[in-house]
C-alpha cells in the first residue's frame, strides 16, 4: 500500500534527477579502416539524456512540490514519448521519455460527469487483480504504463495492534550515495539523488469541454521480507534502469515481459517520522525528518479540554446576554465601583466583614457623581465614601 509520498523538486530539477543512458548504434571508422578503406565498424555508444517535462492543463490543477503529497494531488510521472507523438515524430525523437504531471487516483476514461464523483478507490492497483479489473485491464493492454517519481513514500505500521492515530509513520526511500541524507536538501543536488520509482498505470479522462485530466494508480502487491514488518502490502518499486526501461517501453516490451519486471524491492532504507504527517494538510519540512530531529510537534486537541472550552463559551454567551439587560448607567456605575474599590488599601479591605450589596454601591456612586458635577468633592466626602464602601452603608 502507498498512501503518501514526498517530492520537493521543481520541474527543472526533476528532469535532472531522471537522466538516463540512451543506447544508440553508430557506425564509426577506425584509423586502420580509413587507411585500408575497409568496411565500417559498428559500435554501440551510450548518451546521457534528460527527459522532457511536458506541461498538461489537467483542468487547472498543477503540481506543487511538497513534503506530504496525498491522493488527488498532481505529481510528476515518467511515460514513454510514444503516447504523445505519432510514429514518425517518435522515430525522429532521440529522447523517448517524458515527465508529465498527473493526478494521483485514476479517473476511468469512461466516467461521465464530475471527475470527483466517480466513487472508486483508485489510488492503488492490486497486481493480483489487475488483468481481471475493468478499471485497470484496459490501460494495461493499451500500454499506458508509467513510473511514479518521489523522494520517498510514507507508510504506517499496521503489523502491531494500535489505533490508526497511534500507528508509527515511516518514510521509505532508496539507498543514497555517501553523505546524502534524503531528508536534508542541503546534502544533495538533483543530479546525484536516487529517486524512488514505482510502477503504475495511467488513464486519460476528458470532460464535455474537451479538457483532459491525466491520472494514475500505483501498482502494489504482497510485501516481501524487507517490508512485511511494517505493512502487508508494498508498491512495485523499480530498482534498476533496466526495469524502468522495460516497464515504459510498451512498443518493444510485451505485456508478459513487463509484468516479469515487477518484483519485490531488495534494497530499501527507512526511518520513523513525526505523526504530523498523518494530516495531509501539514506540508512542513518536518514531515520527512527522523522523529528524533523533530523538536516540537503540534499536539492534537484533547477531547476533554475541547468540551470544557465549549461549555465555557456557552456560559460566557449566557452572561453576556443577561448583562445586556442592565442600563448604561448601571454598567458605568459598576465599572466606577470597581475603580473605587481597587483604590482601597489592603488593610481597609480586610476590615470589611460584609460584602456591600449592589444597590448600596449604586446609590453611593450616584451621589458621588452629583458631587463631582458640582465641583464640591472634598477630602471628607472621599473618606465618607470609602468608609461606606468598606462597611456596606449608603451615603446620603
Query: Contact, 190 vs 17, CB < 8 A?
Result: yes
Determine whether 132 is an active site residue: no
Cell numbers placing 313? 463559551
Which bin fits 291, alpha (ψ -120 to 50), beta or left (φ > 0)?
alpha
The b/e string for 257-291 (b: 16+ C-beta within 10 A; e otherwise) is ebbebbebbeebebbebbbbbbebebbeebbbbee
Q: How many residues does the chain have?
A: 396
Sheet bearing 66-69, strands edge to edge: 66-69, 4-7, 152-156, 169-173, 269-273
**CA 332 → CA 167, 326, 328, 329, 396, distances in Å?**
57, 10, 6, 5, 20
DSSP 209: T
Determine whether 241 is an active site residue: no
Catalytic residue among 6, 155, 287, 337: 155
Catalytic residue among 2, 18, 287, 337: 2
Provide the strand spans (E) within 181-278.
196-206, 212-222, 233-235, 269-273
Active-site positions read 2, 155
Amino acid at each position: 500500500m502507498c498512501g503518501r509520498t514526498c517530492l520537493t523538486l521543481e520541474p527543472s530539477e526533476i528532469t535532472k534527477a531522471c537522466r538516463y543512458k540512451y543506447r544508440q548504434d553508430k557506425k564509426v571508422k577506425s584509423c586502420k579502416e580509413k587507411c585500408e578503406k575497409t568496411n565500417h565498424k559498428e559500435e554501440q555508444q551510450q548518451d546521457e539524456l534528460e527527459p522532457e517535462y511536458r506541461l498538461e492543463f489537467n483542468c487547472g490543477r498543477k503540481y506543487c512540490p511538497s513534503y506530504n503529497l496525498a491522493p488527488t494531488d498532481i505529481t510528476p510521472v515518467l511515460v514513454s514519448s510514444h503516447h504523445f507523438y505519432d510514429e514518425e515524430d517518435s522515430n525522429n525523437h532521440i529522447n523517448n521519455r517524458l515527465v508529465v504531471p498527473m493526478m494521483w487516483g485514476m479517473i476511468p476514461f469512461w466516467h461521465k460527469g464530475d471527475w470527483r464523483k466517480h466513487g472508486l478507490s483508485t489510488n492503488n492497483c492490486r497486481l493480483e487483480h489487475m488483468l481481471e479489473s475493468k478499471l485497470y485491464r484496459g490501460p494495461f493492454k493499451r500500454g499506458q504504463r508509467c513510473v511514479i517519481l518521489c523522494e520517498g513514500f510514507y507508510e504506517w505500521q499496521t503489523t502491531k495492534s494500535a489505533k490508526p492515530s497511534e500507528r508509527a509513520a515511516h518514510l521509505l526511500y532508496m539507498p543514497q550515495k555517501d553523505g546524502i541524507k534524503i531528508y536534508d536538501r542541503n546534502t544533495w543536488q538533483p543530479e546525484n539523488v536516487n529517486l524512488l520509482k514505482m510502477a503504475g498505470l495511467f488513464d486519460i479522462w476528458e470532460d464535455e469541454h474537451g479538457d483532459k485530466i491525466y491520472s494514475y494508480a500505483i501498482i502494489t502487491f504482497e510485501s516481501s521480507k524487507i517490508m512485511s514488518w511494517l505493512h502487508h502490502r508494498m508498491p512495485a518499486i523499480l530498482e534498476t534502469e533496466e526495469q524502468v526501461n522495460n516497464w515504459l517501453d510498451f512498443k518493444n516490451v510485451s505485456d508478459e515481459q513487463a509484468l516479469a519486471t515487477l518484483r519485490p524491492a531488495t534494497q530499501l532504507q527507512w526511518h520513523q517520522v513525526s505523526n504530523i504527517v498523518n494530516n495531509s494538510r501539514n506540508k512542513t519540512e518536518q514531515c520527512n525528518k527522523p522523529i528524533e530531529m523533530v523538536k516540537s510537534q503540534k499536539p492534537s486537541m484533547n477531547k476533554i479540554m475541547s468540551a470544557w472550552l465549549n461549555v465555557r463559551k456557552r456560559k460566557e454567551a449566557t452572561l453576556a446576554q443577561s448583562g445586556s439587560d442592565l442600563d448604561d448607567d448601571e454598567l458605568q456605575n459598576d465599572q466606577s465601583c470597581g475603580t473605587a474599590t481597587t483604590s482601597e488599601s489592603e488593610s481597609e479591605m480586610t476590615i470589611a466583614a460584609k460584602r456591600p450589596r449592589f444597590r448600596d454601591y449604586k446609590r453611593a456612586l450616584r451621589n458621588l457623581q452629583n458631587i463631582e458635577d458640582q465641583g464640591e468633592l472634598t477630602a471628607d466626602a472621599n473618606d465618607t465614601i470609602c468608609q461606606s464602601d468598606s462597611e456596606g452603608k449608603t451615603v446620603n
